[in-house]
Amino acid sequence: MAEKIALITGITGQDGSYLTELLLQKGYAVHGIVRRTSNLLRSRIEHLRRDAKIYGKTLFLHYGDLSDTTTLRRIFREVGPSELYHLAGQSHVGLSFEIPESTCDEAGMATLRLLEIVRDQSPSVKFYHASTSEIFGNASESPQTEETAMRPTSPYGCAKAFATQLARVYRQSYGMFVCNGILYNHESPRRGENFVTRKVARAAARISRGLDVDLVLGNLESKRDWGRAQDYVVAIWLMLQHGKPDDYVVATGEAHSVRDFVEAAFKVVDLPWKKYVKRDPAFDRPIEPTRLVGCADKIRKTLAWKPNGSFEQLVREMVEAEVETIEKLKS
C-alpha cells in the first residue's frame, strides 16, 4: 500500500495535536503547517518534536500562515498529501466579535484558498474542513442534523457557514473529495485556556491548592453539547476513510449548562463552587446561539462512530489533569 501522507493546518491546536498522534499511530507521514512565532516551543506537540524517532522521520513541520497563499501552495506541492486536514484559524467565538475581520479571513477565506490550491494541483486529494455547530446559531430545530438550516449568530459562525457551504459547492461542482465535520464543542486537558471548560477546570484545581482565590465567569446558563476531543479526532479521520465524501454532525446529543460544568468541576476537588465563582458581564457575548445540541445518527450509522464517556468523566479528566500539572510543578 502506498504511504499515506497527511498535511494538517492547525497542527499545534487542541485537535491538530490529537489528530497527529492518531495518524502517526496509523503509520502516516504527518506534515504540519506552523506559524512563525517569537517562541519556538509548541506546547501541545513538543513531546513529538523532541522525539528523535518521530521528528524528521514521520513528522515534519513547515512554516506558513493562512494568509500567505504562495507559501501554502508551495508547501502543498512539496508535501504532496493524500489527505488534507484543514483545522487552523482563530477559533474563539467571543473574540470573533472583537476581531471579526481576521477571524473571517482565517475561518472563511483561507478555506477558499486551500480549496483552490487542491482544485488546481491535485483534485483527488481528500480534504477535511473543520466546520462547527456555530453555523446553526439561532437554531431552527433541536437537535440539529446535517440538513438543519445555517443561521449563525457570530462573525466566527458566519465565516464557518461560508466555508462549509463553499466546501459543499466544490464537492458538487468539481467532484472533489471534501468533507465538512460539523463538530460540537469538544474539550480535553489540551483545550485553550480561554475556553470555558479549561478555564473552569484550571481554576477549580488552582483554588483547591491555594493558588487562586476565585473564578470570574460570564453567562452560567449557556448550554453546550460537550464531548471529548480525543474521540472527535477519530471521527475526523473516519470521514476521510469512507468511500464517499459527505458532511457529518459529531456530537454527544446531550446539553449541559456552564453552571453544570462548574458544579461538577468543584465537586472533583470537593469545594463549594458558590463560594468561589463570581459573575462578570464583561465575559458575556453580544448574542449567544440557542438550543445547540447535535444529532450524530448519521455518523453513528455510516461510519460506526460514537462518543465515549460521560459528561462527569470529561470534567473529572480535565480537573485531574490540572491538579497533576500543579503537583508536578511543585515536585
Give me the amino acid identity at 244.
K
Spot the catalytic one: 85, 156, 184, 276: 156
Residue closer to ligand NAP, measured from CB, 67 or 290: 67
**Spatial contact of 239 and 171, defined as CB atoms under 8 Å apart:** no
Binding positions for ligand G4F, 118-157, rule CB under 6 A: 132-134
C-alpha span between 267 and 80 (Å, rounded): 49
Angle formed at CA 117 by CA 159 and CA 120, multiple of 5 degrees:
135
Report the SS3 class of residue 294: strand
Which of ligand G4F, ligand NAP, none lies near 222, with the C-beta cut-off 5 to 8 A by kind? ligand G4F
The alpha carbon torsion through 231, 60, 75, 5 (nearest 10 deg) reads -60
Spot the catalytic one: 21, 83, 134, 263: 134
Angle formed at CA 87 by CA 6 and CA 26, multiple of 5 degrees:
35
C-alpha span between 230 and 186 (Å, rounded): 8
134 annotated active-site: yes
Which of ligand NAP, ligand G4F, none lies near 258, with the C-beta cut-off 5 to 8 A by kind? ligand G4F
Residues 6+ apart with CB under 8 A from 300: 306
C-alpha span between 31 and 9 (Å, rounded): 9
Binding mask 67-86 for ligand NAP (x = CB under 6 A): x-------------------
- Using CB atoms within 10 Å of the CB of residue 230, give its burial: 0 to 12 exposed, 13 to 18 middle, 19+ buried: buried
Spot the catalytic one: 9, 58, 132, 153: 132
C-alpha span between 43 and 11 (Å, rounded): 11
Residue closer to ligand G4F, measured from CB, 29 or 204: 204
Residue closer to ligand G4F, measured from CB, 81 or 181: 181
55 annotated active-site: no
Judged by CB under 6 A, which stretch of 55-63, 65-73, 112-120, 298-306 contacts ligand NAP?
65-73
Binding positions for ligand G4F, 228-267, rule CB under 6 A: 258
By the rule CB under 6 A, 103 interacts with ligand NAP: no
Judged by CB under 6 A, which stretch of 196-204, 236-244, 264-272, 294-302 contacts ligand G4F?
196-204
Angle formed at CA 130 by CA 125 and CA 132, multiple of 5 degrees:
150
Binding mask 166-185 for ligand G4F (x = CB under 6 A): ------------------xx
Residues in the chain: 331
Which of ligand G4F, ligand NAP, none lies near 152, with the C-beta cut-off 5 to 8 A by kind? none
Binding positions for ligand G4F, 35-94, rule CB under 6 A: 91, 93-94
Which of ligand NAP, ligand G4F, none lies near 231, with the C-beta cut-off 5 to 8 A by kind? none
Count of Cβ atoms closer than 10 Å to residue 43 Cβ:
10
Catalytic residues: 132, 134, 156
Q: Which residues bind ligand NAP (CB under 6 A)?
A: 10, 12-16, 35, 37, 65-67, 87-91, 106, 130, 132, 183, 185-186, 192
